[in-house]
Structure 1
Amino acid sequence: MIVSGTQSLFGHMITDPIETVSRVGNDLAVAIGLLTMITATIGINIVANFVSPAFDFSNCSPQKISFRTGGMIAAVGSILLTPWNLFNSPELIHYTLDVLGAFIGPLFGILLVDFYLIKRGKISVDDLFDDTPKGQYWYRNGFNPKAIAALVPSVAIGLVISFIPALHEVANFSWFIGVFLSGAAYRWIARDDRTVVAAARYDARAVAQKE
């Protein structure tokens, strides 16, 4: 709405909100606008680019990496990666997004299939915090080998699609391709787990009825 209004006010459309604020003739309005931009930028970066990676790093080794330490790792890493250089090269940022899609898509597909098709939307909350071999989500040393078996080839296919010039148009859909491939692969690899979950749920209902 604001962008559309700049067309009638300034004679051309301005998509940069900072430039729009700078053209306002009132100093107080400019100050409020800039303060709003600063607050929004800080708030969005804390939620999207700090909290999430801080939890991710902390979950890799909860005993050694706290939430605060995970946040510091994310902050330092974000500077070392020099993301501003990525935006200086349209081709580089394009490849970066395609590679991210090739990794994130398969992860999402596995999580989706595991929760809705394998575990039927049921989660053991207590076992989520159990990092011992007795926990339901311990799998093998904390890793689910079936999920990894579905993840690796799906990511590999996504990367191949992203870096082959002839498949440039298809690379734009690497995220969706990864979701489908990993989801289908994991559904087939973990097909026996669905039977185990169903049997465990039946036993739990039987015990509840007896009580």
Structure 2
Amino acid sequence: MSTLYLLHKPFRVLSQFTDPRGRATLVNYIDVPDIYPAGRLDYDSEGLLLLTRDGQLAHHITHPDRKQPKTYRVQVEGEPDDHALEALRHGVMLNDGPTRPARVRRFEWPKAPPREPPIRYRASVPTCWLELTLTEGRNRQVRRMTAHIGYPTLRLIRWSIGNWELAGLAPGEWREETIHLPRSGASHNRRHQRPRRRRS
């Protein structure tokens, strides 16, 4: 039995606990000792980050052979047409090779979580939310994929990793789950605790 911590990482927070340059880190949001991220999320991206102190569980989550699907909610500049979305579904050629096919759909999200600072609003430039699911994790892949089809990413929120979702967590909040990880695979005991925010 292990404990997994689900954190809604805010914008402009490093996925680590220290930074010599003084930028915001995880220590500003979660005060559980001896845990570390299972995977990472870019400084300028938001959303679900998983943390644990169990090496076997971290390996199960991050190992490429597991192909844990990751779903992102992405606000892009412009409104991609069907042809652009089909390109993502079939895979696009980036400078480090072709991507695997992705699941993608337009997504209406009238109550996206607040962000500080908010994205720059321009009345003359429409934006659109997409929901994009990948089974690989290259550096800044989502941003490169949307730029490749001509629609730059303005905001990126990771919504889920495998069966774990961001639902119920505001930016900066976290909760824990008890996980049973038998040798044959993972069985997720969904014993949630209420979302918590570190007190300042």
- Could you say whether these structures have the same fold, taking a TM-score greater than 0.5 normalized by the shorter chain as the test? no
Which TM class, normalised by the smaller chain length? Answer: under 0.3
Structure that is richer in strand per residue = 2
TM-score by length of 1: 0.22
Structure that is richer in helix per residue = 1
